[in-house]
Chain A
Amino acid sequence: MSMILDKVDYKYSPGTAYEKHALREVSLKIEDGQFIGVIGHTGSGKSTLIQHLNGLMKATSGAIYYNGEDIYDKDYDLRKLRQKVGLVFQYPEHQLFETTIFKDVCFGPKNKGLSQKDAELKAFEALRAVGLPENLWYQSPFELSGGQKRRVAIAGVLAMKPEMLILDEPTAGLDPKGRDEILDQVAKMHREWKMTVILVSHSMEDVANYVERLIVMNRGKVMLDGTPREVFAHYKELEEVGLSAPQVTYLMHELRRKGLSVDVNATTLEEAKDSILKTFGAK
């Protein structure tokens, strides 16, 4: 089971003066149960790409297969696809609309056909998962701080328990603890529910810590695709396209230049720490 993108091409406003070629023949295979990161400069096509994965946007040309079925087939039920592939938008707080936070999170599961009671259970679980203080649950979502709204919006998609969860820059505006809590929670669901996760992020440290596969977008194309270690080894090329490597990777390169035999491909704090301790212990 997997999702396959075959030469997916997308143009905004084709044939007009405003035509914008946002995706250029992107081909990818997303295996079931993978935890994938997507990075790229602003405007590289990340948001356009992921909106294709749940059928919100239709490729100008090319094909997408989910579990072997062509999602553009006229008999394919796109509504079902959207329940299986949950998408947390880039600015999800813009999509809050109910009178209370709790109702807002119940909306998705109820829409999916769950009973009021089951929907409430799911909402309860999801709000817990994103760590929103319980005393806020029955307030209006519009009176929350920026980071609190973000949590409610994420809870809304978690409550649907999708097979594939796509998060478009979910941690922008979250405090450091909140960032770790949400990503830990996502990692846990990935492990326990075998959920496929696609995380679009501007934090090189976060993707290095969490994902097993990293896709780099540049000008509508896939520029690199590999493990974080493989991808961040190309840090010079990443800088040329507005990205960078995690701070510790740079540190390791600087230490190597000073003649220390540390692991220059370390991308996480743990890896860097182990390598430095080993190098100094061995001296």
Chain B
Amino acid sequence: MNFIEARKLVHEYIRRDEEGNVESIQTALDHVDIDVKPGEFVAVLGHNGSGKSTFAKHLNVLLVPTEGTLWVDGKDVTEEENLWDIRKNAGMVFQNPDNQIIASVVEEDVGFGPENIGIPTEEILKRVDKSLKSVGMLEYREHSPNKLSGGQKQRVAIAGVMAMEPKCIVLDEPTAMLDPNGRKEVLDAVERLNQEKGVTIILITHYMEEVVRADRVYVMDQGKVVMEGTPREVFSQVDTLKKYRLDVPQITLLAHELRQAGMAVPKGILTRQELVEALCQ
């Protein structure tokens, strides 16, 4: 069974004037089909305004479909009584690390979610420990979040989501504001949660390098899904991606251009190591 299953999902943002007459309709999702299996790591790419965040917001019912269906963990998002279960099982992490942290001490911030839903104190403490550990931030438990670097703040935000013990984490450009080291810390933490705890990951990003770590990639263009496949399959189509305003990792592009210049480099190179091997054999 799929953990996420979107069928002909449509979302329209409808703008009305003061009298309530429809002024304009923006179709942000246009008959989208997306499947994600439990434990999968899926990346979503697409130009600005292609509908990625709109899709993400459906996964924890911040938005509801205009048409079509969406099941999360086998539950229909349009059924009111499923709301709670779905929200609990699909945690969200957003772009700006500064808007997501509320408490003045790291461990309080991580415990905030479980406390809010009435988890007993002892259990909260356990969860806080476990989640901070899983993102490599346990030693900062008593620190003040505003003294942390961007990457550390994002990992605290992820720990806060983990403390709710969701089956799935949706990350909407979690590294857009981070320095190279912060980006690596966050991606490493996400990968570990996926591999060691089996958490399903949906990663929205504009950094092509980050996508290399995913099992599968969806590419969106003007509200539609236009490509789907493994990173290698998707990134071997350099020209198609460019048409959708996207790119490939710098190493993949270099390999592509060396190939075009006549060198015997295979298609779909993703990492430095692969290119070194191809060149040194």
Contact = CB atoms under 8 A, between A and B. Distances in A.
Contact of B47 (A150, A177, A244): A177
A56 interface: no
A148 B49 contact: yes
Interface in A138-157: 139, 143-148, 150-151
Interface stretch (B4-12, B69-77, B109-117, B177-185): B177-185
Interface stretch (A110-118, A159-167, A246-254): A246-254
Contacts of A139: 24
B205 to A, nearest CB: 10
A154 B135 CA distance: 35
Contact of B177 (A172, A175, A273): A172
Interface in A168-191: 169, 172-179
B246 A173 contact: no
Nearest to A245: B180
A97 to B, nearest CB: 18
B143 interface: no
B149 A176 contact: no
Majority DSSP secondary structure for residues of A touching B: helix
B226 to A, nearest CB: 14
A242 interface: yes
Interface stretch (B32-40, B123-131, B254-262): B254-262
Contact of A174 (B13, B206, B249): B206
Interface in B169-187: 173, 176-183
A251 B206 contact: no
A267 to B, nearest CB: 11
A255 B257 CA distance: 17
Interface centre among B15, B279, B280 (most CB of A within 10 A): B279
Interface residues on B, range: 35 or more
A119 interface: no
A176 B208 contact: yes
B179 A42 contact: yes
B144 to A, nearest CB: 11
B140 to A, nearest CB: 15
Interface string A187-202: 0000000000000001
B180 A243 contact: yes
A143 B15 contact: yes
Nearest to B241: A176
A57 interface: no
Contacts of B246: 175-177
Contacts of A173: 48, 95, 173, 176-177, 206
Interface string A37-70: 0001111000000000000000000000000000
B208 A169 contact: no
B267 interface: no
Given A41-B149, A175-B48, A177-B47, A247 B208 contact: no
29 contacts: A40-B179, A41-B179, A42-B150, A42-B151, A42-B179, A91-B96, A144-B49, A147-B49, A147-B206, A148-B48, A173-B95, A175-B46, A175-B48, A175-B206, A176-B246, A177-B242, A177-B245, A204-B180, A243-B179, A246-B250, A247-B209, A248-B250, A251-B275, A260-B280, A269-B250, A272-B254, A276-B279, A277-B263, A280-B263
Closest 3 CB pairs of A and B: A147-B48, A177-B245, A176-B247
